[in-house]
Structure 1
Amino acid sequence: MKPAVSVVIPAHNEEAVVAEGLDLLLAGTEPGEFDVVVVANACTDGTARVAARPGVRVLETAIPGKVNALRLGDAACAAYPRVYLDADVRIDAGSVRALADAAARPGVLACAPQPEWDLSGTGPVVRRVHRVHDRLVAPSRALAGVGVYVLNGRGHERAFPLPDVISDDGWVDGCFAGGERVVVAGARSVVRPARTVRAHLRRRIRVRQGNRQLAELGVPARPLRPRALGALLASRAVGPLDAACYLAVLVLDRLLTRVRGGRTSWGTDAGSRHRDPTAAS
């Protein structure tokens, strides 16, 4: 069977989560329907071992970096459209099919699912921060921040080869405009955000550093405007305590980014790599 879609999964020390994600992705698929490539990059755990299964090709490289893993996986793909999926993000076969259908629409070059946030195990402060942040970015959300994006052949020509950036999804998002990129209502990705303030700050520092890189490449991030938070408060979409937690963590975020300066790296945020507590043992 000729693959209907290729899926590239970069995986750095993802032993704890990659198997469950692959089980969900492949459940109910026909043999050969999805061409799945897992790239275990600079792993020191059993990521490659637990990812190995029928229907999945596992590549290993000693070179660290998500973008390098994406390039390697992309070069090994056998089909379009291509799904680029974070190893700790969950998506099922039905959502992948919906994304592939959307990528075939006239004028569409790229697409992404609607995210669902798995807040199990998150602390009360960071839960409020996520609530506010999600509502702030929702109106402009497209390909970035949902753990999955999809490119058809023409979209791939626009976005690849990926440059050496922290925010690969931010780069890809910036390669398209208007109706060239769409959010597919019939597709869902389950994203596990940071569970603690400390983990959230580590992630936000990388986001800001990534945005700085993209700006240098001519792809500026869409700014969050203070008046938007006021509008959320006025409409009671968020409460005063939610806003206070968000602003306090935002101040810490900016201070820490200034202290760290230009130092950047890509790695695993273990704060969100927790096994689904509802999954069977």
Structure 2
Amino acid sequence: MSVVIAAHDEERQLGRCLDALLPQGELEVVVVANGCSDRTAGVARERGVKVIELPEPGKAAALRAGDTACCAFPRLYLDADVVLGPGSVPAMLACLAATGAPACAPEPELDLTGVSRVAAGFHRVHERLMAGRRGLAGAGAYVLSEAGHARVWPMPDVLSDDGWVHRSFAPAERATAGRSLVRPARRVAAVVRRRARVRRGNRQLDRLGRTETRLGGADLVTLVRRREVTVPDAVCFVAVLVAERLPGWPTGRWGSPGQSGRSGGDDGWGSDRSSRD
């Protein structure tokens, strides 16, 4: 199995990612350090994996460079700040073999350590809203068979690579196995910034013809009525949605309401440091 990790200034996170990954099988691992100003490449080399260094930041370009350097299938694309649970790589490989699915992703588990009360409430509600809908997006990792790879590559210059992959397959073609530990944004301001980036990525995918049905307010009401989320968490969720639409909050650089975080174009790297905020 080949593994591609695009890493932009991930010196502090990459070691944990690789230490969890490397014992899980015979893996060809390629780390693409793109536009880094820290020891990301050095951390990867210390663990004996192949390293490609690119001068400019850009996740899609980094994924393409790493993909070109790989030899084996299936192929795993892993975020540098995500930790795969023990046995998750063999589980995903076994799932692909057993089901014949072209794509597979782990089930994400949120690490809410140090997350503020409002942000944690938002994340819990969001996870319940996404239950059964997440598919290949949001887990920080996805595996493609050779046939699945042919469906989605070469990767275009998109902000949301996992969104592009997710929307390239029908629900019946998306398998789930294993677990990944994901660190969500820890403060409300960071949640808003991350969601602004997600919205830009979704609009970009829509323009490229990869459309998907959006969730609505009725879905939240249903979860509350079924007691699948608590009322306090639902209030936190709504509070974040309101905050997104406040002009100038929290950075003072945003545009009109509903345009939160629109600084820069849609096609940049947009590296998200918010899980460290």
Fold in common (TM above 0.5): yes
Report SS of the residue matched to 1:78.
coil
Match of 1:26 in 2: 22
The answer to which of 261-270 and 51-60 deviates more is 261-270
Which residue of the other structure, out of 211, 221, 229, is the alignment partner of 2:202?
211
Deviation at 1:231, TM superposition (A): 1.2
Which digits, 9 at most, give the CA deviation of each residue in 1:125-158, with x for residues without a partner?
A: 1000001000001121100011001100000000
Match of 1:17 in 2: 13
Which residue of the other structure, out of 215, 236, 242, is the alignment partner of 1:224?
215
> What is the letter of the counterpart of residue 272 of structure 1?
S
Match of 1:252 in 2: 243
Deviation at 1:268, TM superposition (A): 3.1
Contact 1:88 1:273 in 2 (8 A): no
> What is the letter of the counterpart of residue 146 of structure 1?
A
Contact 1:147 1:189 in 2 (8 A): yes
The answer on 1:236 being equivalent to 2:198 is: no
Unmatched 5+ residue regions in structure 2? 247-256
The answer on 1:263 being equivalent to 2:265 is: yes
- Decide whether aligned partners of structure 1 residues 128 and 259 sit closer, same or farther in structure 2, where only a CA change above 3 A counts: closer
Q: TM-score, normalization: structure 1?
A: 0.89
Deviation at 1:97, TM superposition (A): 1.1
Aligned residues: 265
Alpha-carbon distance between aligned partners in 2 of 1:23 and 1:239, rounded to the nearest angstrom: 36
The answer on 1:6 being equivalent to 2:8 is: no
Report SS of the residue matched to 2:206.
helix
Contact 1:104 1:152 in 2 (8 A): no
Which digits, 9 at most, give the CA deviation of each residue in 1:167-223, with x for residues without a partner?
A: 110100111103211112xx0000000011111111100000000000001112331
Match of 1:198 in 2: 189
Match of 1:175 in 2: 168
Contact 2:192 2:260 in 1 (8 A): no
Unmatched 5+ residue regions in structure 1? 275-281
Alpha-carbon distance between aligned partners in 2 of 1:193 and 1:67, rounded to the nearest angstrom: 21
The answer on 1:143 being equivalent to 2:146 is: no
Alpha-carbon distance between aligned partners in 2 of 1:273 and 1:18, rounded to the nearest angstrom: 14
Report SS of the residue matched to 1:80.
coil
Deviation at 1:257, TM superposition (A): 4.3
The answer to which of 195-204 and 85-94 deviates more is 85-94
Which digits, 9 at most, give the CA deviation of each residue in 1:87-117, with x for residues without a partner?
A: 0000145101111122223541001011111
> What is the letter of the counterpart of residue 157 of structure 1?
A
> What is the letter of the counterpart of residue 263 of structure 1?
G
Match of 2:121 in 1: 128
> What is the letter of the counterpart of residue 205 of structure 1?
A
Alpha-carbon distance between aligned partners in 1 of 2:125 and 2:211, rounded to the nearest angstrom: 22
The answer to which of 207-216 and 61-70 deviates more is 61-70
Deviation at 1:254, TM superposition (A): 4.5
Alpha-carbon distance between aligned partners in 1 of 2:188 and 2:29, rounded to the nearest angstrom: 34
Which digits, 9 at most, give the CA deviation of each residue in 1:9-63, with x for residues without a partner?
A: 000000001011111111364xxx1000100000011100111135410110012
Contact 2:135 2:171 in 1 (8 A): no
What is the root-mean-square deviation in Å for CA atoms of aligned residues? 1.7
Alpha-carbon distance between aligned partners in 2 of 1:211 and 1:28, rounded to the nearest angstrom: 33
Contact 2:82 2:181 in 1 (8 A): yes
Alpha-carbon distance between aligned partners in 1 of 2:240 and 2:272, rounded to the nearest angstrom: 18
Percent same amino acid at aligned positions? 52
Which residue of the other structure, out of 26, 29, 37, is the alignment partner of 1:36?
29
Contact 2:88 2:179 in 1 (8 A): yes
Deviation at 1:251, TM superposition (A): 2.5
